[in-house]
C-alpha cells in the first residue's frame, strides 16, 4: 500500500509519496531545504569557491532565467488577464515559502510595475549570513517572470532592501534590453582582463628586478692595482644602458684615485652599435677631463674593423690586444712594472 498524502491549499496541490521519496508541488517534482542552515551553507560554498562578484552574477542570471521559465508557463494562460496572473504568482510563491510579494503600480501598457518583498527566503539566508546588502536572485527572478508575461525584456532596480533595516524590499521593473549571457561573458572578460593586468604587473616587477640585477653585475668597476681601474664592457649597449655606465664610472673613478681607466672590450658584441662606439668615446674623453688616461684593450680583428667603420674617432686612445698588455703599459708610464 502506497503511503501517499495530498493537500490542497487555496487551489495549490501538494503531494507526498513517502514510498518513492517524492514531494510534488503542482504535479512537479520539488525539494525542501532548511533556509538558515542547509541553504545558507549552499550559498556560502558558492561564494567561497567563486568569489562575491561571480556569485552575484550567478544568482542574478539564474534568478532571471528561472523567472523566464515561470513567465512562459503563465504566458499560456491567454484567458486570464495579466493582473490576475500577477495575483496567482504571488499566492503560488507564498505557498512555496518564498515570502510575501505585493505587486503595485502594474502598468500593462508601459510594461512597468513595483514589487514589495517581505520575509523572502533570500532575505532570510542573507540575514543568517550576516550580510549588510541584500541579494538579487528574487529581484531578477521577477524580472524574468514579467519578461515572459509582457513579451518584452524587463529589468529591475532595487530601491530599498529589507536586510538594510526596512520593513520590506522595494524593486521597480521597467522595459530594458537584457542579455544575461552577455553579462556572464562580460564578467569572464573582466576577470580575464584582471588576470592579464596582474600578469603584466608581475612581468614589469620581474623585469625591473632583472634590470637592476643586470645594472649591478654589468660592467663592474674593478680597481686592479693602485691608480689603475678596469671596466669590462659586456654585450650590447642602448642609449639608457650607455648613459648609466658613463655616470656610474665617472662617479666612482675619483673614489679609487684612478690615474688610468682601462676599458676592456673583450665582451663587446662584435656587431658594434653606434651607442657602444659613442659611449666609449664619451667615457674616455670625460675621464681625461678628470686627468685620467684611458686605455682600450681586448680588441679583436673583427671589432677593430667595426670601429674603423664607425664615425667615432678613437685614435687618441691607446690600444692593446690584451688586458695584461694594457695594465703593463699603465704601470710603465709611472716607471713601475710587475715582478
Residue 1: pLDDT band (50, 70, 90) is very low
Q: What is the pTM of this model?
A: 0.55
Pair 161, 269 in one domain: no
The confidence band for 56, taking pLDDT boundaries of 50, 70 and 90, is confident
pLDDT at 138 over 90: yes
Hey, what's the cell of 236?
A: 650590447
Number of domains in the chain: 3
> What pLDDT, on a 0 to 100 scale, did the predictor assign at position 182?
67
24 and 37 fall within a common domain: no
Query: Which pLDDT value is given to residue 273?
Result: 74
Q: List, for residues 260-306, the tens digit of each pLDDT value.
A: 999 998 888 666 777 788 888 889 889 988 899 999 998 877 777 87
* 131 and 172 assigned to the same domain: yes
Domain boundary among 147, 178, 209: 178
pLDDT over 90 percentage in the chain: 23
Output the domain CATH number for residue 121: 3.30.1380.20
| Mean pLDDT computed over 190-196 | 67
For residues 146 and 60, membership in a common domain is answered with yes
Own/partner pairs, 91-97, CB within 8 angstroms, 24+ separation: 91/10, 91/12, 92/12, 92/26, 95/9, 95/10, 95/12, 96/25, 96/30, 97/35, 97/121
Q: Which domain holds residue 9?
A: 1-32
Does residue 174 sit in the same domain as residue 242?
A: no
pLDDT digits (tens, 9 = 90+) for 14-50: 899 888 888 888 888 988 888 888 889 988 898 888 8
What Cα–Cα distance (Å) separates residue 77 from each residue in 1, 12, 107, 140, 175? 37, 16, 19, 22, 22
Residues 294 and 317: beta-carbon distance below 8 Å: yes
Q: Are residues 6 and 42 in the same domain?
A: no
Q: Which of 126, 161, 178 is at the close of a domain?
A: 178
Of residues 115 and 181, more confidence is placed in 115
Residue 213 in any domain: the answer is no
Residue 311 lies inside a defined structural domain of this protein:
yes
> Does pLDDT of 194 surpass 70?
no
d(CA 287, CA 284): 5
Task: Give the pLDDT of residue 190.
Answer: 61
Residues 118, 231 share a domain? no
| Mean model confidence pLDDT for the chain | 84
Helix (H) or strand (E) holding 280: helix 274-289
Amino acid at each position: 500500500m502506497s503511503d501517499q498524502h495530498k493537500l490542497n491549499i487555496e487551489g495549490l496541490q501538494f503531494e507526498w509519496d513517502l514510498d518513492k521519496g517524492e514531494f510534488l508541488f503542482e504535479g512537479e517534482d520539488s525539494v525542501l531545504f532548511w533556509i538558515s542552515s542547509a541553504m545558507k551553507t549552499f550559498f556560502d560554498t558558492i561564494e567561497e569557491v567563486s568569489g562575491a562578484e561571480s556569485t552575484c552574477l550567478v544568482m542574478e542570471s539564474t534568478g532571471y532565467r528561472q523567472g523566464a521559465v515561470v513567465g512562459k508557463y503563465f504566458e499560456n494562460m491567454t484567458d486570464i488577464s495579466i493582473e490576475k496572473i500577477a495575483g496567482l504568482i504571488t499566492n503560488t510563491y507564498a505557498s512555496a515559502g518564498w515570502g510575501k510579494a505585493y505587486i503595485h503600480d502594474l502598468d500593462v501598457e508601459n510594461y512597468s510595475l513595483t514589487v514589495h518583498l517581505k520575509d523572502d527566503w533570500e532575505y532570510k539566508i542573507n540575514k543568517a549570513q550576516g550580510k549588510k546588502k541584500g541579494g538579487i536572485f528574487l529581484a531578477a527572478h521577477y524580472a524574468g517572470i514579467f519578461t515572459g508575461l509582457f513579451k518584452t525584456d524587463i529589468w529591475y532596480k532595487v530601491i530599498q532592501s529589507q536586510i538594510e533595516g526596512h520593513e520590506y524590499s522595494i524593486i521597480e521593473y521597467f522595459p530594458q534590453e537584457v542579455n544575461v549571457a552577455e553579462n556572464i561573458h562580460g564578467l569572464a572578460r573582466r576577470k580575464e582582463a584582471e588576470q592579464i593586468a596582474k600578469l603584466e604587473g608581475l612581468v614589469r616587477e620581474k623585469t625591473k628586478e632583472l634590470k637592476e640585477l643586470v645594472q649591478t653585475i654589468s660592467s663592474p668597476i674593478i680597481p686592479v692595482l693602485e691608480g689603475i681601474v678596469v671596466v669590462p664592457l659586456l654585450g650590447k649597449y642602448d642609449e639608457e644602458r650607455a648613459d648609466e655606465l658613463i655616470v656610474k664610472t665617472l662617479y666612482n673613478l675619483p673614489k679609487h684615485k684612478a690615474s688610468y681607466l682601462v676599458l676592456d672590450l673583450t665582451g663587446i658584441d662584435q656587431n658594434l652599435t653606434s651607442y657602444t662606439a659613442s659611449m666609449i668615446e664619451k667615457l674616455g674623453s670625460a675621464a681625461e677631463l678628470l686627468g685620467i688616461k684611458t686605455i682600450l684593450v681586448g680588441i679583436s680583428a673583427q671589432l677593430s674593423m667595426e670601429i674603423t667603420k664607425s664615425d667615432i674617432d678613437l685614435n687618441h686612445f691607446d690600444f692593446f690586444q690584451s688586458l695584461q698588455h694594457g695594465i703593463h703599459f699603465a704601470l710603465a708610464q709611472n716607471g713601475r712594472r710587475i715582478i
